[in-house]
Amino acid sequence: MKPGRVVAAIVLSLAALAPIGGASAQERRPPDSAAEMKLSFAPVVRRVTPAVVNIYATRTERRRSAFLDDPFFRQFFGEGRGLGRERVQRSLGSGAIVGEDGLVVTNNHVIEGMTEVKVALSDKREFEARILIKDPRTDLAVLKIGDGAEKFPTLGFADSDALMVGDLVLAVGNPFGVGQTVTSGIVSAVARTQVGVSDYQSFIQTDAAINPGNSGGALVDLDGKLVGINTAIFSQSGGSVGIGFAIPANMVRVVLASARSGAKAVTRPWFGASLQAVTPEIADSLGLKHPGGALIANVAEGSPAAAAGLKAGDLITAVDGRPVDDVESFHYRFATRPLGGLAEVTASRDGRDRAVKVALQAAPETPARDVRRITGYSPFGGASVANLSPALAEELSMDGAARGVVVMETEDGSPAQQLGFQKGDVVREVNDARVASSADLARVARANPRYWKVTIERGGRTFTTVFGG
């Protein structure tokens, strides 16, 4: 991305799919006459807009005045009267009703950190909403409105994997809070992976005009089916320049299924191998005509990838017959497979393609997390740490083969924060002794050595630092 350009997570634009059960790919064609060019989108808009909602989220914070730390001022004003100020934060976005029972999908960044969420329908009714599930890894959230007795208008799903560049789509949302708007455009690209908005990057790109406030709105095809949830724009000014991105409907299905199951977090299939990009140099060494696919760097023992016979050096080229162009493409393809059953992964080894069956199972929570808060004045003081399992590694967007003790968070102003420890750091050794569990680290932190020699792993790199005792 060139300097000065910004990906603004305010609105999205997405792609639309080929109609499901409607015209086939062979039947797609430009209009034959002026009469056909005058055909209106109005029938589609009438079907879609009742299921596109406005979302208003707020959070009230009471900020403590610095004067309260002064005994002189406390003598006159008391322990909290008059010197604290309330600050209200607001967020405005859009959403789509995807269940007659009142399930609403929006962007996670629209409601993140908010304590009160309201949903306004196109008929001016408003509902208090419950947050069922938040998934920062996809920037999606599922809300619930109503008591279950009323049936709401809803959007059906299209197969976003069938989307083609050039397909017509409509973006529906609520920019600037002025009321519902509809814009039309075409799908400019599919499977965009270098957007940087979420962990699972395979976005639909569209030129339909998108503006602030459309985040979480619907991107629909001409059958009125949901093909994506608008999530970001590429802009230099913050306004729409005709480059918008949407989360594909097939990824939305995964998050929605977890919400319907009553889960508090999204559960995805565990592959159990770390992957690396295929550079031009790697492509040359493998005898490839051009870079593509995802190269397996290592395989976790006991993982589905290991059970399927995959090894380091294998080049993944497809999942269930769908091509894999890069690492992000594989993550998307595999993450959108439903749990249970098998996925067919095509991999090349020594120049020969082979298809293997990989079990679609959730990552195990072994060992147990055993989260511990480290107290005292060691370098780890104020840090919460846990045993790293495949499930926790998935949750933290880490290498699925990683093991050890991971930092979950650090308290503001704590020794751990001041010394630069970060969420996701894996503590490997302390004073040349291996740290195997959170209990180990809690015990070591109670010692009082002359100095602390700490080895951590961060982002695939290992660092050793010495702190004074």
Report, as residue numbers or ranges, the catalytic residues: 109, 139, 215
290 is in an annotated binding site: no
Phi, psi torsion values for 44, nearest 5 degrees: -70, -45
**What does the DSSP 8-state code read for residue 157?**
B
Q: Which two three-digit tokens encode residue 46?
A: 């009438």
Name the 3-class secondary structure at 277. Answer: strand
Helix (H, G, I), strand (E, B) or coil at 57: strand
Which H or E element spans position 331? helix 327-335
215 in a labelled binding site: yes
Q: Please name which of 276, 271, 317, 322 lies closest in space to residue 293, comparing C-alpha atoms.
A: 317
Q: Is 387 annotated as a binding residue?
A: no
**Burial grade of 43 (CB within 10 A; 0-12, 13-18, 19 or more):** exposed
The DSSP symbol for 288 reads -
Q: What element of type H or E holds 324?
A: none
Work out the angle at residue 71's Cα, subtended by the Cα atoms of residues 69 and 75, and round it to the nearest 5 degrees.
Answer: 120
Q: 3-state secondary structure string, 418-441?
A: HCCCCCCCEEEEECCEECCCHHHH
Would strands 294-299 and 315-319 be described as parallel, antiparallel, or unpaired? Answer: antiparallel
3-state secondary structure of 306: helix
Which among 136, 54, 125, 60 is positioned nearest to 95, based on CA atoms? 54
Burial of 430 (0-12, 13-18, 19+ CB in 10 A): buried
d(CA 289, CA 64): 62
Residue tagged 């991105």 (tokens): 245
Element (H, E) at 77: helix 71-77
| Separation of alpha carbons 159 and 225, rounded Å | 9
Run of H or E including 354: strand 352-359
Q: How far apart are the first and last CA of the chain?
A: 44
Output the known binding site: 109, 139, 213-215
What residues form the annotated binding site for substrate? Answer: 109, 139, 213-215
